Amino acid sequence: MARVMLLSVLSRCHRTLPGYLPLAVFFGLILAFAAVSLVGARLVRPRRPSAAKAENYECGAQPIGEAWVQFPVGFYLVALIFLVFDTLAVFLFPWALTIRTLGPEGLKAMLGFIAILGLAWVYAYREGILEWK
């Protein structure tokens, strides 16, 4: 019984694996390119360490104080708002190109998505995230 089940699973895998072969080859090429690039860069880089190269560089000014400072939370909130609306752009443009093939269901789905992002906009506005202090 177990042998029959194993043979059944192996025959199903044998039928579906050829479809994944190009993907596996492409993934292997990506990994090989990354490894060769990293090794090649390490081999050809200049090796002239000095004390000046080991210092922190901050726009040409001499660093003063600790490098670990806490940034105001407003920076992070603006970044999150950017991600929300960048997500809107990423999904809205391909949707606009395929709206005719999606039909009314695609329109309903996108309106729901935009409504959720609209709630994010209203929340950000009410919390004062959009006002720079």
For position 12, what pLDDT does the model report? 61
* pLDDT-based confidence at residue 58 (cuts at 50, 70, 90): low
Residues 6 or more apart from 102 whose CB is under 8 A from it?
Answer: 95, 109
Residues 87 and 129 in one domain: yes
Q: Based on the number of CB atoms within 10 Å of its own CB, is 133 exposed (0-12), middle (13-18) or buried (19 or more)?
A: exposed
What are the CA-CA distances from residue 114 to residues 8, 41, 68, 117 (Å)? 46, 45, 38, 5
Domain span at residue 2 reads 1-47
What is the structure's pLDDT at 44? 93
Q: Which residue has the higher pLDDT, 132 or 99?
A: 99
In contact, 89 and 67? CB cutoff 8 Å: no
Question: What is the model's pTM?
Answer: 0.45
Backbone φ and ψ for 46, nearest 5 degrees, come out as -75, 145
Assess if residue 103 is contained within a domain.
Answer: yes
For residues 78 and 32, membership in a common domain is answered with: no
